[in-house]
Copies of this chain bind each other. A is one copy, B any other.
Amino acid sequence: MKAEIIGVGTELLLGQIANTNAQYLSEQLAEIGVNVYFHTVVGDNPKRLTDAIQQAETRADLLIFTGGLGPTKDDLTKEILAGHLNCGLDTDEDAWKKIKDYFKKTGRKMTANNEKQAHVIKGAKVLPNDQGMAPGMFLKKGTHFYMLLPGPPHEMKPMFRNYGRQAVMDQLEKVDRIESRVLRFFQIGEAEIAEKLSDIIDTQTNPTVAPLAGDGEVTIRLTARSNSKETAAALLDEVEKKIQKRVGEYFYGYEDTSLMAELLKELESRQLTIAAAESLTGGLFQSEMTSVVGVSTMLLGGIVCYSNDAKIKLCKVKPETLEHEGAVSEQCALELAENVRKELGADIGISFTGAAGPDSLEGHPAGTVWIGMSFKDGESKAVLVKLAGTRNGNRRRSVKMGCYYLLKELEKK
């Protein structure tokens, strides 16, 4: 099966946004063995959109559209495609109910064009939108398949992942089992991991081994093709074993996990509670923790002590400590971690204090960060990390480092 991805929207042609949807879909389709030969981007223009559809039909079996499903007049993907295919439009009752419920719940005013969002092409399978209002569609007409997805990536991606991908796979005559596995590493660079695994990366063809760097982590994606799930899994196991033998000390988890998710798993399984005191991270550690459902049994809370005054008032750091050692110091990190733990009666206290940047702080260069950890058994510890990113890069990296070092400490207990 050959696919073409058609991005619809004048905002793409004006350069207001990048077509990241095409990238995501290409990656997904490659995984299930569908070849993508072209991406096209076309504006909100009936004639040119029709031309793009006709063109794509000459060179692809599956046309995937992103964008143009919104409520306004310039959203016209489904209307144009329905016209081109000589199909009408129906109101999808589930989507329409969802839209009405939304306006009822938020008390906002619904306008006439909101109903347009619930329209779907007659005969299409509806792909639910769990993150927004516009439903997606999948249909076969003649020898072609058509899929319509919303433009906003946070709506499009879960829709494809949860519904669209399977709809495509159901149409593949012979699906080579494509199994992939992502291994996640921390505290090792991409160049170093690539060097350590160079012979494996160069000679492996099934599974393929693809390292990728991003946001302070390195992932390795293993992709195996086989006629059965079991054989594919065995192929993955075999190459993973080789990789773990060489760089396993940096490995921390599989697939979409994160250091924060691994830390929460660990806290949950040990039934431990945590409290945090954050200076340079300004609440980011706790905010990331709170983004996970069900964290309330673990995270008791904490303080944000961006100013020295807050360190003293909210977390009882000794004024002498700040005067003699400074805020960017081991002693300050230890007091913060210990005091916040005791104040909230938590099992673990963690603290972050340092220079986020761009400027140095108390003579310490930007990126100098102390992470303090305090445990109920009386042990406490502070780790110095030196980062070289932007202000917000350093803040994000500090949070990851905090999760990483805390996991390391918990392993020992």
Q: Residues on A close to B: CB < 8 A? A: 7, 10-20, 22-30, 36-43, 45, 48, 51-52, 55, 59, 70-74, 101-102, 105-114, 131, 152, 189-192, 194-195, 198, 201-202, 210-214, 221, 223, 275-276, 278, 280-287, 289-291, 293, 295-296, 299-307, 309-311, 313-314, 343-345, 356, 358-359, 365, 367, 386-388, 390-393, 395
A114, chain B: closest CB distance, angstroms: 5
Complex formed: what's the CA distance from A109 to B302 in Å? 36
Q: List 11 A-B contacts (CB under 8 A).
A: A13-B26, A14-B27, A38-B52, A278-B283, A281-B290, A283-B304, A284-B287, A290-B304, A290-B395, A301-B305, A303-B314
**Residue pair B300, A302 in contact (C-beta under 8 Å):** no
Q: How far is the CA of A284 from the CA of B281 in the complex (A)?
A: 11
Please judge, given known A-B contacts A113-B195, A191-B71, A343-B313, whether A102 and B18 are in contact too, CB under 8 Å.
Answer: no
List 5 A-B pairs, minimum CB-CB distance, nearest first: A282-B290, A283-B283, A301-B310, A15-B27, A15-B26
A102 neighbours in B (Cβ, 8 Å) = 388
B304 touches A286 (CB 8 A): yes
- CB pair A300 B306 closer than 8 Å: yes
Q: Which residues of B contact A20 (CB under 8 A)?
A: 18
- Which of B214, B309, B367 is close to A344, meaning CB atoms less than 8 Å apart? B309
| Residues of chain B contacted by A314 (CB below 8 angstroms) | 301-303, 314, 343-344
A293 touches B391 (CB 8 A): yes
Whether B395 lies near A192 (C-beta < 8 A) is: no
User: In the complex, what distance in Å separates the CA atom of A52 from the CA atom of B392?
Assistant: 37
Give complex CA distance A17, B212 in Å.
11
By the criterion CB–CB under 8 Å, are B30 and A14 in contact? yes
Q: Write the nearest CB–CB distance from A124 to chain B, whole angstroms.
A: 23
Is the CB–CB distance between B71 and A190 below 8 Å?
yes
A152 to B314, CA, bound (A): 40
How far does the Cβ of A166 sit from chain B's closest Cβ, in whole Å? Answer: 19
- A390: chain B residues within 8 A (beta carbon): 131
Alpha-carbon gap, A18 to B19, bound state (A): 7
Q: How far is the CA of A390 from the CA of B130 in the complex (A)?
A: 9
Question: How far, in whole Å, are A231 and B70 apart by their CA atoms in the complex?
Answer: 33
The answer to whether A195 touches B39, judged by C-beta atoms less than 8 angstroms apart, is: no
Interface centre among A14, A344, A387 (most CB of B within 10 A): A14
Give complex CA distance A305, B276 in Å.
11
A72 nearest CB neighbor, chain B only: B194
Decide if B37 touches A13 in the complex (CB within 8 Å): yes
- Which residues from chain B contact A26 at a C-beta distance below 8 Å? 12-15
Q: Which of B38, B287, B359 is within 8 Å of A48, CB to CB?
A: B38
